[in-house]
Amino acid sequence: MSLDLEKRPLSSRCGIDISAAGIGLWAQGGHWGPVDDENSLQAIETALEFGVTFYDTADVYGAGHSEELLGKAMKGRREKFIVGSKIGWQEYDGQKNRSQYDTVEKLIAGVDTNLRRLQTDYLDLIQCHIGYEEANTQVFIDGFRKMKEMGKVRAWGVSTGEFSHVKRFNEGGDCDTLQIDYSILNRDPENEILPYCEKHGIGVIVRGPIAMGILADKFTGSETFADDDFRKAWIDDPEQNAQFKKDLDTVLQLRGVAGDDGVAELSLRFALTHGAIATVIPGARNPRQADRNTRSMAKGRLPGDVMVQIDRIVPPGGGRKIWPA
What is the residue-wise DSSP string for 38-98?
HHHHHHHHHHHHTT--EEE--TTTTTTHHHHHHHHHHTT-GGG-EEEEEES-TT-BTTTTB
Residue 261 near residue 295 (C-beta atoms within 8 A): no
Q: What is the pTM of this model?
A: 0.94
Indicate which residue of 55, 61, 101, 182 is catalytic.
61
**pLDDT tier at 321, thresholds 50, 70, 90:** low
Q: What is the mean pLDDT of residues 51-76?
A: 94
Q: Cα(136)–Cα(129) distance, rounded to whole angstroms?
A: 12
Share the mean pLDDT of the chain: 92
Category of 151 on φ-ψ map: left (φ > 0), alpha (ψ -120 to 50) or beta? left
Classify domain 8-313 by CATH number.
3.20.20.100
Q: Cα(247)–Cα(243) distance, rounded to whole angstroms?
A: 6
* Residue % of the chain over a pLDDT of 90: 75
- Write down the pLDDT at residue 325: 38
- Write down the pLDDT at residue 324: 44
- Write down the pLDDT at residue 232: 76
- Write down the pLDDT at residue 33: 59
Question: pLDDT by residue (tens digit) across 212-263?
Answer: 889 998 887 777 777 777 777 777 788 888 888 899 999 999 999 999 999 9
Q: What is the mean pLDDT of residues 106-126?
A: 97
Which DSSP string do the residues of 90-132 spell out, in sequence order? TT-BTTTTB-S--SHHHHHHHHHHHHHHHT-S-BSEEEE---S
Question: pLDDT by residue (tens digit) across 188-203?
Answer: 999 999 999 999 999 9
Q: Which H or E run contains 209?
A: none
Query: Active site includes 196?
Result: no
